[in-house]
Structure 1
Amino acid sequence: MTDDTPVLEVEGLVKHYRGRAGTGTVRAVNGVDLSIGRGEILGLVGESGSGKSTIGRCVARLTAPTAGRVRLLGQDISAMSRRELRPLRRDVHVVFQDAYSSLNPRTKIGDIVAGPLRQHREGDVRERRGRAAEMLERVGLPARTATRYPHELSGGQRQRVALARALVMRPRLVVADEPVSALDVSVQASILNLLLDLRSDLGFSCLFITHDLSVVEFVGDRIAVMYLGGIVETATRQELFAHPQHPYTQALLSAAPVPDPREGRAGRRVVLRGDLPSQTSRVPGCAFHTRCPVAVDRCRTDAPVLTGITAPDHLVSCHLVTPEAGGPDITQGGNGLVHHTS
């Protein structure tokens, strides 16, 4: 692996699940491409059911992809066996949304954090305990926390334990799947600041999965917006929030709350009609055309390709985005929308 090799590369990732009898195939992810560089945090954002967590599970090989390639540190792990994956497991770890359900209630915190060290046969018992205590202190918990059980800790403390367990092996990639959505806002801020501090100290990369735009705006270096199993837009944090191009991205940003209601966001709030289409049926053309207020005939028949059109590294999957005019501004008006003034 060279210095410029991405930590993670995903090419044409597809994941389908067999539904119950008579319900058809669930098309969770449909041909996703993304990459994460060294020390970079990529925020993956979208509605519930868009396929974000499925991508995270495929990246960590908690589930095998149906098609496509996942390269970790330059190695294709898509079709590796469990035996072949074992040496690479140390380089990718997951932080789950519900810390309490991901921690064994009958195991002491110290043993939970030292679990990955034990699995990979790192050091002896004394060394593992020492490294676990050190990592607990790095995430803001006293070393004596090692003797306690998960039910004795608060939600924020449990998430710190989950973070310590994920980082104790010094992985190259952390998959954080909605790690702060179950926490109070004040606790969320402390966990996010901790994540950024640890990223600076340890240099790991992160796939940060969330539905909360305010969270991804705070932690993400780049942001990928997902809709119905596909990426519709990706850009740097500053570029995406300043110049959203895809109609779906614009709708998400218009609905995001702002700290000071008197300031609001530019334009008007947009509420899209309808819900995500069923994942068991293939939507012809653009997946978003059933809810898009500016869709044209071409959108209903031809699927757009994620293409760089506007700024460098700003990719958009929309027929209506052009180099000259950018994307349509649906916050200023359009058919099929409900508008609310700021």
Structure 2
Amino acid sequence: MSQSVCGRFAPTPSGRMHAGNVLCALLAWLSARSQGGRMVLRIEDLDPLRCPPENAALLEDDLHWLGLDWDEGGSAGGPHAPYYQSQCTDFYEAALQKLRNKGLLYPCFCSRAQLHVASAPHLSDGQVIYNGRCRGLTAEQIRRLSQQRPAALRLRVPPETIRFTDGCTGTYAENLAEACGDFLVRRSDGIFAYQLAVVVDDARMEVTEVVRGRDLLASTPRQLYLYRLLGCRPPRYCHIPLLLAPDGRRLSKRDHDLDLGRLRQTLPDARPLIGALAFLCGLQPAPEPVCAQDLLPHFRWSAVRKTSIRIPQAWYQVPPNRWAVRTEELYAENPAL
């Protein structure tokens, strides 16, 4: 494979990475490196209040400890700088102008309460299916409402079904109008929406492959629509299974679920963690300690599990350096393995 392959890891530094974030970083790195490609580290700190700079520095230290390197991005910079979304306002504004010139943007004055009263939550991410409440406002209505509260910006979507083939999960299709409705590209507080920012950044950084969690699968049709409108070529997507706590909930930074701060206190190096994650996602037959580099010759997407992965209770009860000797318990608690 040529050097044209470009993967990326794009974490939000709102807290310490947990095991699910590590799995995403590992699979993104393995996929790109196994194809002879390069890696980009992008810091998705769109909301600076939730993402202090010290978190980004700690994240880089954790990646070095894990043995997951990158070719450009983060504090090292590179040819596609800036790599911190908080510094990319001009790029996002330029994209908004392109959409505005197409007549596809309109101000939205709906409050969160109004949105949730108007429509049921979106099944995948808790967002609402927007009903177009502000889509037909007159100039006078916009002027009056602007005096009461700042407006968000929404993008008009067609009643079109967008399909794509995911490298991990297979074919996925979604009708934009039915699944999400007109979606936000800039919030009322001026912060740019994830959907717009991630498309602009992946395009300008020449990313060809995006590896991320299954929870973001439903956002991909919206992003493919934006790629088309902005005249950019979309990357290949691979949405990986989510790691779940023993009780079935998603891992959370807020709850400090298997976060690297705690894990690094009990581990001599990253190999037990890398080996355990490789075992759970299907890349090796037992949770034996291994470094990321050792997994490269055997990496293939067909081996990666397609369904969510429940972490064994044992991982919450014994030190990580003992995970490898609990193989029988791991199989017992994960019969699907």
TM-score, length-scaled by structure 2? 0.34
Compare the two structures and name the one with the higher strand fraction: 1
TM-score (norm 1): 0.34
